[in-house]
A and B are shown apart, each in its own frame.
Chain A
């Protein structure tokens, strides 16, 4: 695309533009007929097909208009397009549409085109080159990274205060717990994938080991949650070492495939060893956590024990336990976060990052690669185990179905999307990957479609992850000293490269 100055808008070549928009609309038609137009429904007579031509027509029409808008931006009419796109977005918000999907497309599409128009007006060019876009995103990522110094504590305070506000109802607390669980898993996996650069596709196995450790120990031996939590962590770490020993000599793709297999092995053992694990029926009646072993969250405690509300002289409320669980997972995930922040500045963490960058050079510097990788694996597995036993006690019921490959994929997506190695990136990505689908539950049909589309777009525009930015762990001249400016800020955040590099080897 050619760069045009805004001062000389050239005459608009309508036939060419209309042709381009029509071609785009045709492609959209081909795509939307199977994806949107046809839908299978369960009928008493069997599986039937339902057609939704109205949605197809609407989608194609909107794509046509959108492409028209983009062409007009290119031809030097961004102001007009901006107004129209803004109107479309507003219409999406305020006017009732026949279907929810239409509304979302209108809002999202209108907003994207409006942003493009604004960029065109401000820079005088219709399109930024890949390098420029990367640079801009890098700058934003660096800013967010620096802002996380004060943003992090604020977020923690907000998270701490949230259950005390009147906003906190059962549903929001549950979503909060869900988000925090994934944040914790993301931070845990970040140690292996983001820092050590090992693509682990079976992280959910350690989550499962942790969950089943607690469930089985409680079921067979009646051990309490507070005793089982460290045990579950140890068992998960043990399984991490067990997997790690034979596997860590592999690199890149091969390593990823074996971890994927390990995740499935664990799940299939859980399904088939039904005498011990209950098989596909799972384990139910897993005891709920007590208040540090001092009091239980029940209305009327059995003789000789104390109830939480009696202990603090409160009115009984079923919310107490939810709030306690919320604080528990918040504390657990903060432990993971603090650990990672701290270990990055220690030789172990630096060795992990060095391994990610170039493991042959590491060997030449006398770093014992196997031990370092095993440590990363075991520690990440331990945190996965903690999260797993939390999951078990929160649900009260677990079955192998909760530990399928898709869970591993989601956790990995969170890490990759956020920008490998970035702590704040994991939080942002969790909000996007877990939070958005929760927020748009009404759009159930389109959730996965939108999810897939979002992933494709992000991989196209920002392959290294949204907030891929790495700050050096040690600075000779301080934050504002010489040399930090362009150089350190522009670090090739190596997560993506680490994996790509591992593949190339």
Chain B
């Protein structure tokens, strides 16, 4: 565990999280801590339950068992598993992106970022009444929202494309726009579901730079699901490894990289050690059965 140093404050504490879908156990007894202003990567083979974990944290699923505590830097605490989905973003300031990009494709890039500031703006528009009347307070709020959008567009190098429709952007740009949109909600915790998927090496390097910027300059905690190990190992401060829904390793990148449990999960075990004794004993019998069946067939 890395929270030995005094400067690190826990942002998200996941305790004994279990998520079952009927008989299928997607996450079982997962516990870890993600610190404030750190990049925590969650890695694991396909089907390890990473996205399910994300969906629990961001309120798309309610966990079967477990507690998710989010502690803001100012001390406010939120129990995420008790909040309805939209409140987690609205009140607890957790933002997320999706594995398959979910932009508002028919709307312009700028509109995407303004929609992200919905809660701020709808209050400023007096739930549309002040807005319909065209009161100056709303106009001020809107121009501030546009300034924030411009700031993030500049950050993700999409300022020139502000008036394009989001669906017409190239793939890499859409990924960056989704991150910008999440950041426009001004989160304390940003959850990114495979942000580097489908990016070329240059784009991945840019992404890594953007994420470190978000961590260092905005003091935002980042929770990252990623398969691209070059990105993960370079930028993350803390790595959690899942396999078959369980946490198998947890620590800094160097530790995780050399953890035998992780190597086993990714590369498999030695062939001799792989088979438990009963299975190995059964094998000749199975082979014989096969031969018999083949003879009967002939």
Q: Do A and B bind each other?
A: yes
**Does B242 count as interface, using CB distance less than 8 angstroms?**
no
How close is B172's CB to chain A, nearest CB, in angstroms?
16
Interface centre among A342, A360, A368 (most CB of B within 10 A): A368
- Which one of B22-30, B100-108, B247-255, B262-270 is at the A interface? B100-108
**Whole-angstrom CA separation of A87 from B127 in the bound complex:** 61
**Does A367 count as interface, using CB distance less than 8 angstroms?**
yes
Q: CB-defined interface of B158-183 with A at 8 Å, one 1/0 digit per residue? A: 00111111011000000000000110
**Whole-angstrom CA separation of A490 from B138 in the bound complex:** 30
Taking A483-B160, A492-B106 as contacts, is the C-beta distance between A361 and B121 under 8 angstroms? no
Taking A358-B104, A481-B163 as contacts, is the C-beta distance between A475 and B110 under 8 angstroms? yes
How close is B76's CB to chain A, nearest CB, in angstroms?
16
**Does B244 count as interface, using CB distance less than 8 angstroms?**
no
**Does A434 count as interface, using CB distance less than 8 angstroms?**
no
Chain A residues with CB below 8 A from B137, complex form:
none
Chain B residues with CB below 8 A from A293, complex form:
none
**Whole-angstrom CA separation of A474 from B163 in the bound complex:** 8
- Which one of B81-89, B203-211, B213-221 is at the A interface? B81-89
Inter-subunit contact B125/A472 (CB<8 Å): no
> Of the candidates A358, A366, A472, which one forms a contact with B111 in the assembled complex, judged by CB atoms under 8 Å apart?
A472
**Does A219 count as interface, using CB distance less than 8 angstroms?**
no
Inter-subunit contact B118/A366 (CB<8 Å): yes
Interface centre among A348, A357, A475, A494 (most CB of B within 10 A): A357
Q: CB-defined interface of A351-372 with B at 8 Å, one 1/0 digit per residue? A: 1011001101111111111000
Inter-subunit contact A487/B86 (CB<8 Å): no
Taking A364-B95, A368-B86 as contacts, is the C-beta distance between A492 and B105 under 8 angstroms? yes
Chain B residues with CB below 8 A from A148, complex form:
none
**Does A311 count as interface, using CB distance less than 8 angstroms?**
no
Inter-subunit contact B103/A475 (CB<8 Å): no
**Does A493 count as interface, using CB distance less than 8 angstroms?**
yes
Inter-subunit contact A347/B162 (CB<8 Å): no
**Whole-angstrom CA separation of A475 from B107 in the bound complex:** 11
Inter-subunit contact B107/A357 (CB<8 Å): yes
**Whole-angstrom CA separation of A365 from B121 in the bound complex:** 13
Inter-subunit contact B103/A347 (CB<8 Å): no
Contacts across chains A and B counted by CB atoms under 8 Å = 154
Inter-subunit contact B162/A477 (CB<8 Å): yes
**Does B233 count as interface, using CB distance less than 8 angstroms?**
no
Chain B residues with CB below 8 A from A343, complex form:
128, 132
Q: CB-defined interface of B102-144 with A at 8 Å, one 1/0 digit per residue? A: 1111111011001110110110010110011000001000000
**Whole-angstrom CA separation of A472 from B86 in the bound complex:** 25
Inter-subunit contact A491/B96 (CB<8 Å): no
Chain B residues with CB below 8 A from A493, complex form:
106
Chain A residues with CB below 8 A from B122, complex form:
347-348, 351
**Does B67 count as interface, using CB distance less than 8 angstroms?**
no
How close is A40's CB to chain B, nearest CB, in angstroms?
47
Inter-subunit contact A347/B131 (CB<8 Å): yes
Closest residue to B88 on the A side, CB-wise?
Answer: A366
> Of the candidates B131, B132, B161, which one forms a contact with A487 in the assembled complex, judged by CB atoms under 8 Å apart?
B161
Taking A346-B131, A350-B114, A490-B168 as contacts, is the C-beta distance between A482 and B160 under 8 angstroms? yes
Interface centre among A339, A348, A484 (most CB of B within 10 A): A348
**Does B31 count as interface, using CB distance less than 8 angstroms?**
no
Inter-subunit contact A491/B165 (CB<8 Å): yes
Closest residue to A501 on the B side, CB-wise?
Answer: B105
Taking A358-B104, A497-B106 as contacts, is the C-beta distance between A366 and B163 under 8 angstroms? no
**Does B35 count as interface, using CB distance less than 8 angstroms?**
no
How close is B263's CB to chain A, nearest CB, in angstroms?
34
**Whole-angstrom CA separation of A354 from B221 in the bound complex:** 27
How close is A75's CB to chain B, nearest CB, in angstroms?
39
**Does A116 count as interface, using CB distance less than 8 angstroms?**
no
**Does A272 count as interface, using CB distance less than 8 angstroms?**
no
**Does B185 count as interface, using CB distance less than 8 angstroms?**
yes
Q: CB-defined interface of A456-474 with B at 8 Å, one 1/0 digit per residue? A: 0000000000000010111
Inter-subunit contact A367/B132 (CB<8 Å): no
Inter-subunit contact A487/B165 (CB<8 Å): yes
Interface centre among A367, A484, A493 (most CB of B within 10 A): A367
Interface residues of A in 95-113 (CB under 8 A from B): none
Inter-subunit contact A472/B110 (CB<8 Å): yes
**Whole-angstrom CA separation of A493 from B105 in the bound complex:** 9
**Does A157 count as interface, using CB distance less than 8 angstroms?**
no
Interface residues of B in 263-298 (CB under 8 A from A): none
**Does A216 count as interface, using CB distance less than 8 angstroms?**
no
Interface residues of B in 185-204 (CB under 8 A from A): 185
**Whole-angstrom CA separation of A473 from B112 in the bound complex:** 11
Taking A366-B86, A483-B163 as contacts, is the C-beta distance between A474 and B118 under 8 angstroms? no
Inter-subunit contact A369/B86 (CB<8 Å): yes
Inter-subunit contact A367/B119 (CB<8 Å): yes
**Does B60 count as interface, using CB distance less than 8 angstroms?**
yes
**Does A91 count as interface, using CB distance less than 8 angstroms?**
no
Chain A residues with CB below 8 A from B59, complex form:
363
**Does B69 count as interface, using CB distance less than 8 angstroms?**
no
Closest residue to B58 on the A side, CB-wise?
Answer: A364
**Whole-angstrom CA separation of A491 from B161 in the bound complex:** 13
Taking A353-B104, A363-B86 as contacts, is the C-beta distance between A348 and B128 under 8 angstroms? yes
Q: Could you list 26 examples of A-B contacts with CB < 8 Å?
A: A346-B125, A348-B127, A350-B107, A357-B104, A357-B105, A357-B107, A358-B102, A361-B103, A363-B86, A364-B58, A365-B115, A365-B181, A365-B185, A366-B185, A367-B119, A369-B86, A472-B110, A472-B165, A476-B110, A476-B163, A483-B163, A484-B163, A490-B168, A491-B167, A497-B105, A497-B106
Q: A346-B131, A347-B125, A348-B127 are in contact. List 14 more A-B contacts (CB 8 A).
A: A348-B128, A354-B107, A354-B115, A357-B107, A360-B102, A363-B86, A364-B89, A365-B181, A366-B89, A474-B108, A476-B163, A482-B160, A484-B163, A491-B168
Tell me the A residues contacting B by CB distance below 8 Å.
Answer: 339, 342-343, 346-348, 350-351, 353-354, 357-358, 360-369, 470, 472-477, 481-484, 487-488, 490-494, 497
Tell me the B residues contacting A by CB distance below 8 Å.
Answer: 58-60, 85-91, 95-96, 98, 102-108, 110-111, 114-116, 118-119, 121-122, 125, 127-128, 131-132, 138, 146, 150, 160-165, 167-168, 181-182, 185
